[in-house]
Chain A
């Protein structure tokens, strides 16, 4: 169908073909990941790898884009809901619907050009970043939190880990003390309050960052980013930590041994 993307032609002459060829990975197809899947399909992204072991359940229905009550009854896997949604917007899309933990399918993850991380927990994020760095894949992570404080406060972030540039640790997004605390709680993460509008803001911002990485429409160009979301004041701001970190090279992913598969055989 011609003309579908005519309104985004300002992104560049060959962007439609570029988007059709790109493969994005979305790890976690819950509240954040489902928005990512939908928007990228509308953009014209042609290839997808979705990773999530879970099925749609009742508590998901307040925010998982594309999920229905029928999916709860049918126990539809989240990756299949995402696939259905993508194909309704882009019938020609190639979708790998991988209904397992992403760690069980490194080969599919490594085939992605860009990965969106929509996971709970710092340990999962750290592992995903390490795997993406090994394959030189930019990782765009989103997350939101609802904090109990007089009475509540919503916050979130979009953090980009660009190979060759500051990583999550450089940016102070992942800290050893957070991993230690999570380990102390036996790695339990998730099950926290989540709302559709904050997920939507963060996912939309992540998609905008993604497009700017591929087809910049303005002069602002940065790779690694830390964008903080104040969900009470409804503002997005670059975190000051990025300014400090970007003055130095990444301190953590430096060795050649941090690339590739240490056990690769022909």
Chain B
């Protein structure tokens, strides 16, 4: 699980990160995560999965698909996690680690 310091770091990019565990996996909810320039919407609820699932060591899910500069393969649609639905693009091989760094790696796909 993330420490207070790690959550504070994430809090610079969203409105009050919160940790959840679901069925042996660890998630951090990032309400209204501020996205890189050029993305629509500019902010969206996101869910950072720091545990391996579906062949990804970590994954960043969004409450909706994002329009960005790059064409992305949104290969996860309406995924049920924590009783909400989420979307994710194909962006693999981001190892688990310090949450802010994991998040940054995933957001690179939107730059």
Contacts and interface: CB of A to CB of B under 8 A. Distances in A.
CB–CB under 8 A between A and B in the complex?
yes
B97 to A, nearest CB: 20
Given A103-B79, A134-B83, A183 B23 contact: no
B82 A104 contact: no
A262 B20 contact: yes
Contacts of A255: 21
B42 to A, nearest CB: 23
A4 to B, nearest CB: 37
A262 B84 CA distance: 10
Interface stretch (A123-131, A150-158, A233-241): A123-131
B84 A263 contact: yes
A130 B22 contact: yes
B76 interface: yes
B75 A130 contact: no
Contacts of B84: 263
Chain A binding site: helix, strand, loop or mixed by DSSP?
Answer: helix
Interface in B19-57: 20-24, 52-56
Contacts of B20: 257, 262
Q: Range of interface residues on chain A?
A: 20 to 34
Given A257-B22, A258-B22, A183 B56 contact: yes
Contacts of B53: 179
B75 A181 contact: no
Contacts of A179: 53-55
B78 interface: yes
B22 A187 contact: no
A130 B76 contact: no
A116 interface: no
A183 B54 contact: yes
Contacts of B76: 187
Contacts of B78: 101, 103-104
Interface string B57-89: 000000000000000010110111011110000
B90 interface: yes
A197 interface: no
Interface of B: 20-24, 52-56, 73, 75-76, 78-80, 82-85, 90
